[in-house]
């Protein structure tokens, strides 16, 4: 048995469908026996099963599939960025410095901080017992 994710080109919904093998899918498709579960359209496209999120961004082989996924992920990252921007104080490249001064002076900021730091700085902070979280950040212009 093989599970395909099928996209309906008419109503833009997608659904999973089981076939005994890939040939069965092709056969049914040729005979127009693959229907959309939602609107009954036969305008169905097979898409690849979701790969690992880490794998798709630069994977040209799954470009068709990944464009949609990439947009989804970018949207999630953007939402997350907005959350961070609203709840944390931006300290830019001073992140390592600010994080240390918070840590060692026991300062209480109303907000957490966010900014950028190099991998080396993050490693050093961790070694000093200062916990940081890293996350992907999309900027309009590249750094």
Shortest Å distance, C-beta 38 to Zn ion: 5
Q: Dihedrals φ, ψ of 89, to 5°? A: -90, 130
Give the position of tokens 């961070």: 84
Give the residue with the Cβ less far from Zn ion, 33 or 53.
33
Which residue blocks in 20-127 are alpha helix, DSSP H? 22-30, 53-56, 63-87, 95-105, 119-127
Give the residue with the Cβ less far from Zn ion, 33 or 39.
39
Helical (H) or strand (E) element with 99: helix 95-105
Give the residue with the Cβ less far from Zn ion, 40 or 92.
40
Is residue 122 within 8 A of residue 134, CB to CB? The reply is yes
Shortest Å distance, C-beta 31 to Zn ion: 18
Q: Which two tokens stand for residue 107?
A: 């300062």
Binding site for Zn ion (CB under 5 A): 8, 10-11, 36, 38-39, 41
Give the residue with the Cβ less far from Zn ion, 39 or 138.
39
Shortest Å distance, C-beta 1 to Zn ion: 23
**DSSP reduced 3-state for 91:** strand
* Bridge-based pairing state of the strands 112-115 and 88-92: parallel
Shortest Å distance, C-beta 122 to Zn ion: 46
């Amino acid at each position: 048995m093989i599970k395909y994710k099928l996209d309906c080109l008419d109503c833009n919904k997608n659904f999973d469908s089981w076939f005994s093998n890939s040939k069965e899918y092709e056969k049914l498709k040729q005979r127009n026996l693959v229907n959309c579960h939602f609107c009954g359209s036969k305008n169905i496209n097979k898409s690849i099963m979701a790969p690992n999120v880490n794998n798709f961004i630069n994977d040209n082989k799954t470009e068709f599939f990944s464009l949609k996924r990439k947009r989804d992920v970018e949207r999630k990252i953007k939402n997350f960025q907005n959350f961070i921007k609203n709840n944390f104080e931006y300290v830019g490249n001073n992140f390592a410095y600010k994080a240390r001064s918070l840590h060692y002076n026991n300062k209480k900021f109303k907000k957490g901080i966010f900014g950028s730091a190099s991998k080396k700085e993050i490693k050093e902070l961790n070694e000093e017992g200062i916990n940081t979280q890293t996350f992907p950040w999309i900027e309009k212009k590249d750094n």
